[in-house]
Each structure stands twice: as C-alpha cells, then as structure tokens.
C-alpha cells in the first residue's frame, strides 16, 4: 500500500528531526530463539507514547507507520502484525533466512525525540526430525553446589552453544570449544551430548539457560531451555501466634511462620487439612490472620515452607474459648428416683472451658460434672441447680430442677396394679414437677430452668430406675 505524497513527506520530516531528550526504547530480550515454522514476537517498551516508527532487517524496511497508516514491504505483507501503540512486531512462519538483527526506530509523540532498539532473531530446528529435550525444565540447586544441565538429543551432534542472559557461555564445533572467560573455571561440557555442568552456583546464576545443538551434517538444529534456581535451603521454620487466649466472636489472631532460605513458598494446614481463605481468614505468604475467631478454629496449625530444593514445617495449637450454652441434665428431666436405688445426674453444657457446680436450694454440694445419690431417700427431695461457669469468657449458665423420690415397685405386681400405684403417687403429690422444661432469662443474663406442669405420660421419660420404666417392662 502506497502512502499519499503528503504522508510520505511527513515521514521524512519526522525521521530527520531526531534527538533523544530522555525518550528510550528497550527490547524485552536481546536474543530471540524461535523454532523454525513458529512465530517470533519482537517485544519493545518505549518510555513514552509513540507517534511513528520503522522496523529494519538487513537494510530492508519491513514496516513503516505513522499513526494507523502502514507501509509493509511486499515480502512481508502476509507475515507481519504490528502493535502501533507499543511498536512491537510479530513475524509469522519463521525460517532460516530470517536469522539476524532486527532494529526498530520509534519517535515519541510530538516528534521531538527518537530512540531505537535491536533484537537478534535466531531460528532453531529443522525439517529432518532432529530434536533436543531437557531432562528437567526447572533445576533447583543449593547455593555453592553444582548445576547439571542435562539434555537429550535424538541423533549425533556436530556442535552447539549455551546461552545465558544473552551471553554465549560456551560454543563448540567438534572437539574445539570456546568458553567465555568469566566461566572458564566453572563449566564442564560434554561434547557428545551437549550437557553442561556449572559449578559453585550463586544467586546471580538464576535464570534461563538455552542450548542450541546442530545435528551432524549441519542441516538440522534444535533448542532446549532449562531454568536454574540457585537457592539457600529452608531452615529453622518457626510458627508463632500473637494471641494465646482467644474468645469466640471477640478476639482475633495473627500467626507468623518465619524461616531461613530463598524463593520461599508457604502452605497452611489446620488438622492436616489445607486452609482456605474466606471473609474471616486471610493468608499472605508467611502470615495467617483470623478475625474474629470461632470454635471451629480450634486445632493444630501447621506451616509448611518450601522452595523446590527442600522443605520444613512447624506446628502450634490454637484453642478458642466459648460458652457456656445449651445446658441439660441426664437422665432427662423430670427426675423421679426410686427410694433405695442409686442415681447419678450428669450436667452437660457447651463450654470451653467449663466448671460445674451442684447446689440444693442455696447450699453448695460439690464441684463435679456428675452428682450421685448412693441410696435415694425422702431426704433427697428438693430443688437442685447445676451451675456452669467459664472463667475465660466470664459467663455462666444454670439449670434448676426437682428431684422427687418415690416408693419402689413390689416385684410380681400386675401391670394394672403398677399403673394404679403410679396414679396414686401422682394424686398424693409424691411424684411432682412432671412436665416439659422451659428456659427463661434472669435479670443478670443467666439462663434459669424450671419444671412446668404438663402431660404426665410425656413427662415420665426417665431412666430404667424410675417407676415409669418399671411400668414399661
């Protein structure tokens, strides 16, 4: 496509003005290795917005543009794609003749500043099926150790070279090798396989290492890349919490996992299950925060630190205090006990921690979760209370109920006789307080419980020592 005369004149005027004035253009990489038949992307980054530019290859103007108006060399009409905003270029279907230096010249908006950058395209591979593969794409080596870049080729090689940022560390043809001076004491090359060993690695050695090998006969070429990670190993992993006394829905906690080593990654587990982030739990590398905590956060926390070279871990336990709540008595209320039998009452509540106390009326009996009557007598009749206190949350809850002793059932009585005794006891008031349980909130915020009158048969759900249990046998 030809530009109008005025546009072409504008190109000449812009290019001739020149001048740096702080405007720069940088190439994303100076050497671009692309398999034959693949697409080469020449990425450049101008420091300011651009107005026009030109890409050159072996004195040819591949493409020239001003704004959105393009002039493409006839040989490249179907092969190039330009990003006129950044100046980057894509060249499709790379072949061996595309090998060489590509230069871009860009002009900043306003035309007062111009800069350029170069990228060397190196097509690799061939049509004969020759291939090169890396034994591993990522190589993790302890700092001070030796890195072995192992490659496997499909047939014998005549030579090649290793490239790193973008220096040619070593190149060779047959048995003749040339090693970059700064690497002469550090590299060992296997001329037959093309594999390389780099000794005494350090953090400056981190990055991509590319090998280009030539098959015997020189008609085929292929490449492979290995990324080196020179690392300090993971050591001295320590997991700490900033709060050891946590109350549910009130407190928050931050755990920190510290470790020596480089290129570290962290994994967080609770009771050996991976922790997922949500609106309460936030993970940021070596820290885990929970705000607010709840009882499900109780457990053993583990932090695993790794970097590809090795890993380490540490654990710490976390306890979230809550309650008391949901208090109840076993056997279920109402409590009707046979005179002369033993009776054990168990008080249950959701609380961490929880202290249990038993009272009869206002008289303290004992501090245990269970209270036992060794032999029930009429003296045991009365109002009892189970009080549960959590000294961490500063809360407590109580349940008040009645214990009603009753006469034992005489063995051998008929079912009708037993039923008559039960009805007689109820009528006489010896079995009292039978019914459902209701909870009310006292003025001090403590839950109190009392027995309400109700369906007698339903209320007589007691253990096997009760009259009703005897009746059902």
**What would the DSSP string read from start to end of 11-39?**
HHHHHHH---TT--EEES-SEEEEETTS-
- Polymer length in residues for the chain: 473
pLDDT of residue 221: 86
Give the C-alpha separation, 153 to 194, whole Å: 8
The two three-digit tokens of residue 39, written as one number = 């697409």
Whether omega before 200 lies within 30 degrees of 0, making that bond cis, reads no
DSSP3 helix / strand / coil % (the chain, rounded to 5): 10, 50, 40
Give the C-alpha separation, 155 to 202, whole Å: 33
How is domain 323-472 classified at the CATH fold level? Answer: Immunoglobulin-like (2.60.40)
Q: Which CATH class is domain 237-318?
A: mainly beta
Is the domain 5-123 a CATH 2.60.40.10 member?
A: yes
Whether omega before 392 lies within 30 degrees of 0, making that bond cis, reads no
Domain locations in the chain as residue ranges: 5-123, 132-231, 237-318, 323-472
For residue 251, give the nearest of 259, 241, 260, 261 by alpha carbon.
241
Which is it for strands 320-330 and 246-247: parallel, antiparallel or unpaired? Answer: parallel
Per-residue tens of pLDDT for the chain, all 473 residues: 443 333 332 333 233 333 445 899 999 888 888 877 788 999 999 999 999 999 999 888 999 999 888 999 998 988 999 998 999 999 998 887 898 999 999 999 887 789 999 999 987 765 457 889 999 999 999 999 999 999 999 888 999 999 998 899 999 998 899 999 999 999 999 999 999 999 999 999 999 999 999 988 766 889 999 999 999 999 999 999 999 889 999 999 999 999 999 999 999 999 999 999 999 999 999 999 999 999 999 999 999 999 999 999 999 999 999 999 999 999 998 999 999 999 999 999 999 999 999 999 999 999 999 999 999 999 999 999 999 999 999 999 999 999 999 986 545 443 333 333 333 333 333 333 333 233 333 332 334 433 223 332 333 233 333 323 332 33
CB 469 within 8 A of CB 462: yes
Per CATH, the number for 132-231 is 2.60.40.10
Domains 132-231 and 323-472 share a fold: yes
Give the C-alpha separation, 248 to 243, whole Å: 13
pLDDT of residue 38: 80
Give the C-alpha separation, 289 to 273, whole Å: 17
């Amino acid at each position: 496509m030809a530009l109008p005369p005025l546009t072409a004149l504008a190109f000449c005027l812009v290019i001739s003005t020149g001048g740096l004035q702080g405007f720069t253009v940088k190439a994303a990489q100076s050497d671009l290795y692309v398999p034959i038949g693949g697409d080469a992307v020449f990425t450049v980054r101008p420091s300011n917005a651009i107005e026009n530019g030109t890409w050159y290859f072996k004195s040819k103007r591949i493409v020239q543009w001003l704004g959105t108006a393009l002039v493409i060399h006839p040989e490249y009409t179907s092969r190039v794609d330009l990003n006129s905003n950044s100046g980057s270029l894509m060249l499709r279907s790379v072949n061996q003749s595309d090998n060489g230096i590509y230069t871009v010249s860009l002009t900043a908006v306003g035309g007062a500043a111009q800069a350029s950058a170069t990228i060397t395209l190196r097509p690799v591979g061939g049509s004969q099926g020759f291939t090169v593969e890396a034994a591993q794409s990522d190589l993790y080596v302890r700092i001070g150790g030796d890195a072995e870049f192992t490659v496997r080729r499909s047939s014998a090689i005549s030579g090649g070279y290793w490239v790193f940022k973008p220096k040619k560390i070593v190149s060779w043809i047959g048995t003749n090798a040339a090693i970059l001076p700064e690497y002469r004491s550090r590299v060992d090359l296997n001329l037959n396989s093309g594999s390389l060993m780099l000794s005494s690695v350090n953090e400056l050695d981190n990055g991509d290492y590319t090998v280009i090998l030539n098959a015997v006969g020189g008609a085929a070429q292929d490449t492979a890349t290995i990324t080196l990670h020179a690392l300090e190993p993971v050591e001295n992993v320590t997991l700490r919490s900033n709060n050891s006394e946590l109350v549910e829905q009130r407190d928050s906690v931050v755990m920190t996992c510290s470790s020596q080593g480089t290129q570290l990654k962290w994994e967080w587990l609770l009771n050996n299950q991976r922790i997922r982030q949500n609106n309460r739990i936030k993970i940021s590398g070596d820290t885990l925060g929970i705000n607010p905590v709840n009882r499900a956060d109780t457990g053993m926390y583990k932090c695993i630190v790794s970097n590809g070279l090795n890993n380490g871990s540490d654990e710490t336990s976390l306890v979230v205090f809550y309650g008391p709540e949901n208090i109840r008595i076993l056997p279920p209320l109402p409590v009707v006990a046979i005179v002369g039998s033993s009776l054990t009452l168990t008080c249950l509540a959701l609380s961490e921690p929880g202290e249990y106390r038993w009272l009869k009326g206002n008289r303290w009996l004992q501090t245990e979760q269970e209270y036992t009557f060794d032999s029930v007598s009429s003296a045991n009749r009365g109002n009892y209370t189970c009080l549960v206190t959590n000294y961490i949350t500063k809360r407590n809850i109580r349940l008040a109920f009645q214990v009603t002793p009753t006469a034992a059932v005489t063995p051998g009585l008929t079912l009708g006789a037993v039923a008559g005794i039960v009805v007689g006891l109820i009528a006489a008031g010896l079995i009292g307080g039978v019914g459902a349980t209701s909870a009310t909130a006292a003025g001090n915020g403590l839950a109190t419980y009392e027995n309400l009158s109700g369906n007698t048969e339903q209320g007589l759900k007691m253990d096997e020592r009760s009259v009703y249990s005897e009746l059902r046998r």
